[in-house]
Amino acid sequence: MALFDLFGKKKKELKASCPITKEPIERGFGYMLTTAQVISSQKYWDMVMTEPETLSYTVSHFNNQAGGTQMRSMIFEKYAGISKPWIVSDSIIGYFDVDRATARQEAKKWWETEGQHAPTNAGPAAEHLPAETFQHYRDYAILEAGRQRAAATRAA
């Protein structure tokens, strides 16, 4: 059933896709994570830093080339600075150490409010993590993530 406003125009249907896997997420499903929760996952960083688009930077970084390290730093800053909450798919939630029931409830609230709901701790990660914790994950993402895969790539 189509929803119409006073002018007879069809109201735009809310859709979501996982920003990580690009999978479409059906209405009422998915998990809502904050940027602080996302960047606090070493599994996530190992995946991000070894994707086809970033693997060359990772290999360069571990070959002590400053350009690779600089690009990894830019990648971290890009993701750590995201202010909107993340609606992620079932296939990627295992990468994050979160209470899945709570994350599912947050996503349901997001759907019910037509995308207006955000948890109180949504926003750039540095605003919601202690400085020491933020630095720990920053260091991991930039300096360590993907080390094993890069070593395998260099050996091949």
Phi-psi region of 122 (alpha: psi -120 to 50; beta: other; left: phi over 0): beta
Q: Is residue 50 helix, strand or coil?
A: coil
Q: What angle do CA 98, 102, 105 make, to 5 degrees?
A: 140
Q: What is the pTM of this model?
A: 0.87
Q: Is residue 33 helix, strand or coil?
A: strand
| Amino acid 1: pLDDT | 44
Residue 141 is encoded by which pair of tokens?
Answer: 């993402």
Band of the pLDDT at 10, cuts 50, 70, 90? low
Q: What is the mean pLDDT of residues 89-114?
A: 97
Q: Decide: residue 128, CB within 10 A, 0-12 exposed, 13-18 middle, 19+ buried.
A: middle
Q: Output Rg (C-alpha) for the chain, integer angstroms.
A: 18
**Residue 2 pLDDT more than 60?**
no
DSSP 13: P
Q: Cα–Cα distance between 123 and 130 in angstroms, integer?
A: 14
CA distances from 101 to 5, 39, 87 (A): 34, 20, 14
